[in-house]
Structure 1
Amino acid sequence: MTTDKKSIVVFSAHSGDFVWRAGGAIAVSAARGDDVHVICLSFGERGESQGLWKQDGMTIENVREKRLAEATAAAEILGASADFLDLGDYPLNVDDEAFNHVVDLLRRYRPDTIITHVANDPYNRDHNMAHEVLLRSRMVAQAMGHKTEDPPLGAPQVLMFEPHQPEMCNFSVDLILDITEVFDVKLKAMQCMGAQSHLIEYYTELAVRRGVQAVRNSGNSSISHAEAHARLFPVVGSDLV
C-alpha cells in the first residue's frame, strides 16, 4: 500500500460499464490503497440487460433489482464504493436535481482522477450523455461561486476508458494500464454481471490483446493483461520522462 493515497471516481453510464471497461483500473487503484468511488447513472435496465429480458415473466422492477445486486457485488469485489442514481437508460435523462447531486458527489469525493466514457459513441448515446454530464459537473464543482457544503473542486485529470468499438469512437490510446496482478479480481467482478455474461469472453480477450501491446511498448515481458485509456487534459510536468 502506498502512502500517496489518491481519490479516484469512475463515472459510469450503466451498471456494467465500470466493470467491463475500468474494472482493472479500479482494482489496481484499490490495491494500492486509493479510495475508489463509482458513480453509476443507470442500471441499464432497458437496453443493456439482454440476459434478463430473455427470461419469461421478467419485469422492469426485477431487472433493476437484479442489476443493482450484480453491480453492487462487482464493485465490492473490485474494492470500490458505489452510488447508483437510477436515472433510466435508452435514453438516459439527467435532470437538474440529478445533475446537482453529481456535483455534490464530486465535491464530496474530491477526485484526483476521474474515469469515464468517450465523448462520441455513435452506438450508445447514453455514453455521450454521461461524458457531457461529467465534464459539466466537473466545471460547476470547480466554480467558487457555486456554494455547497463542500468546497470547490481542484482540477482532476479525466481519463476515458476504451469503448466497445474504439475505431468508431475516435478513441486514441495514450495510457496502457498493466492490470496483470489484478486481472483475476476483474474477472470475478465480470462474472457477477449475469445480465451481460456474453461480454466476459470479449473483455478477457481484449485485456490479453492490450497486454501484448503493453509488452511491445514497455519491454516488460511480465505483463499479460492490460486496459487502454486516454487522457482528456494535458499532463503537466517538469521533465520529459
Structure 2
Amino acid sequence: MKRLLVVSAHAADFVWRAGGAIALTVSQGGEAFVVALSYGERGESGELWKEPGQTLERVKAIRHEEATRAAAILGAKLIPLDLGDYPLRVDDRVIDRLVDIMVEIAPDVLITHTPRDPFNPDHPVAYEATERARQLATGSGVASAFKTVRPPEFLLFEPHQPELCGFVPNVFLDITPVWEKKLAAMEVFTSQAYLQKYYAERAEHRANHARRISGLADIKRAEAFQRVLPQVVRSL
C-alpha cells in the first residue's frame, strides 16, 4: 500500500498542485497525508479580507474548514500545523515535528514546493524545512543511531510561475481518472476562487505534453512534477 506525504506551505497549495496525485494514490488503495504548515490566512486569503469587519481568527477558521473539506474529497488526512504565513517561520521545534511525522508515516513518495519562488516568501521555506526533515528522517539513507525510514521518492510540485522558479518537469502524472475529484476539491476554496480556472487549464496543458511524450491519446488531465533525486531501477 503506497503512502504519499505532501508538505504544503499554505492550506490550499496541495489542492492546486497535487490534488490529482493525492486522489489517484487513494483510488489505487494507498494512503495520502497532507501537512499544511499554515492556513495562508494573511497572504493567501485575499477574497476573505474584502469582507467588512473581517478578523484573522475568522479567516483561519474558514481556511481550516476549506482545507479539511478538500482533503476529505481527495481522501487525504490533513495535518495542520498553524505556523502563520507571510512570513512562514520554521524553527527547530517544527523540524522535529516534521521528522516525527515522516518517521510515523514512512511515506513512499514525498512532495513539496520548489526551493525558489520569487513571488512567494513562504514556498522556499516549506521546501527547506521538508528537505531538512527528509534527510533527518531517513538518516540520509544509511544506518543511524536513531529510528529512520526508507528514503521516499522526492518530488516537487509545479509552482504558479514554473519558468521563474527553476521548475523543470520530468514526471507527468495522468490524473484523468480522478479529475472530477480534484475539480471538486478546488471548488471548495472560495477564498481563492480565481485560481480554479488557472489550474484547470494547467491540467489540460500538462496533459497535452504527456500525450506527446507517451503517445497515450486518452490522457485528458495531468499534473507535472520535478524529481529531486535520481530514480533507482533494477531494469530499464
TM-score, scaled to structure 2? 0.96
Q: CA deviation at 1:137?
A: 0.6
Find 2:20's aligned residue among 24, 37, 45. 24
1:61 Cα shift? Answer: 0.3
SS in 2 for 1:30: helix
Q: Given the alignment, which residue of 212, 216, 220 partners 1:216?
A: 212
Are residue 136 (structure 1) and residue 132 (structure 2) matched?
yes
- Cα distance in 2, alignment partners of residues 123 and 230 from structure 1: 19
What is the rounded CA distance, in whole Å, between the counterparts of 1:225 and 1:112 in structure 2? Answer: 23
Cα offset, 1:145, TM superposition: 3.2
* Shift in Å, 1:212: 1.1
Alpha-carbon distance between aligned partners in 2 of 1:35 and 1:136, rounded to the nearest angstrom:
23
State which of 217, 221, 234 in structure 1 corresponds to 2:230: 234
Structure 1 spans left out of the alignment, 5+ residues: none
Which of 116-125 and 41-50 deviates more?
A: 116-125
Query: Does 1:52 pair with 2:42?
Result: no
Matched residue, 1:145: 145
> Paired residue for 1:69, among 60, 65, 69?
65
Q: Secondary structure at the match of 2:15?
A: helix
* CA deviation vs aligned residue, 1:127-151 (integer Å, no higher than 9, x gap): 00000000101111123234xxxx3
- Output the CA distance in 2 between the equivalents of 1:223 and 1:170: 26
- Which residue identity is paired with 1:145? A
CA-CA distance at 1:238 after TM superposition: 2.2
Residue identity matched to 1:52: L
Runs of at least 5 residues in structure 2 that lack an aligned partner in the other structure: none
Alignment RMSD: 0.9
Q: Name 1:79's counterpart in structure 2.
A: 75
In structure 2, the residue matched to 1:204 is 200
Separation of aligned partners in 1, 2:95 and 2:209: 38
Q: How does 1:162-173 map to 2 (within 5 A)?
A: 162-173=158-169
Measured against aligned partners, the alpha-carbon deviations of 1:144-193 in whole angstroms (never above 9, x if no partner) come to: 234xxxx3122111110000000001111101110011110000000011
1: CA distance between counterparts of 2:210 and 2:78?
29
Partner Cα distance (2:124, 2:33) in 1: 20
CA displacement, residues 68-125 of structure 1 (integer Å, 9 cap, x when unaligned): 0000000000010010000000000112222211111010000011010011111112
Q: Which runs of 4+ in 1 moved over 6 A?
A: none
1:35 aligned to which of 4, 15, 31: 31
2:107 aligned with 1:99: no
Please report how far the alpha carbon of residue 53 of structure 1 lies from its aligned counterpart in structure 2 after TM superposition: 0.5
Deviation at 1:26, TM superposition (A): 0.4
State the distance in 1 between where 2:90 and 2:77 align. 21
What is the total number of aligned residue pairs between the two structures? Answer: 232
Is 1:182 equivalent to 2:174 in the alignment? no
SS at match of 2:6: strand
Over the matched positions of the two proteins, sequence identity in percent amounts to 47
Indicate the SS of the match to 1:182: helix
Tell me, in whole angstroms, the C-alpha distance in 2 between the residues paired with 1:125 and 1:32. Answer: 35
TM (norm. structure 1) is 0.94
Q: Among 85, 88, 98, which residue is 1:89 paired with?
A: 85
Mapped partners of 1:68, 1:7: distance in 2: 23
SS of 2:224's equivalent? strand
Match of 1:9 in 2: 5
